[in-house]
């Protein structure tokens, strides 16, 4: 009888070790896929940012005075906002 019990326990331990190995493999695959997806998203974001910068440069070269007016207006609006926020604190 003790030999049968030891054989059942040995089989149970082997089953547990097999399951742990399978779970480890699944988790490793999931982490690897997550890393690949993150790297892909970063590369796509970088390409989109580069495209936007290139488009902006072309637009400024085509319409320099319009670009200057936009920058001037944005600067004035930002300056007014800073002054307004500073005056509210006192």
Using one digit for the tens of pLDDT, what is the confidence trace for 73-88?
Answer: 999 999 999 999 988 8
Token pair recorded at residue 35: 């890393």
Q: Which residues of the chain have pLDDT under 70?
A: 1-3, 5-11, 90
CA angle 16, 18, 22 (to 5 degrees): 115
First vs last C-alpha separation in the chain = 88
pTM confidence score: 0.54
Which residues, 6+ apart, have CB-to-CB distance to 60 below 8 Å? 67
In the chain, count H helices and then E strands. Answer: 2, 0
**Beta carbons of 1 and 9 less than 8 angstroms apart:** no
């Amino acid at each position: 009888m003790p030999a049968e019990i030891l054989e059942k326990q040995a089989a149970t331990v082997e089953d547990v070790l097999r399951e742990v190995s399978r779970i480890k493999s699944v988790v490793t695959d999931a982490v690897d896929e997550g890393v690949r997806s993150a790297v892909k998203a970063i590369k796509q974001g970088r390409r989109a940012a580069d495209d936007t910068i290139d488009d902006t440069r072309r637009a400024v070269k085509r319409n320099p005075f319009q670009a200057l007016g936009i920058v001037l207006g944005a600067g004035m609006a930002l300056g007014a906002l800073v002054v307004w926020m500073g005056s509210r604190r006192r």
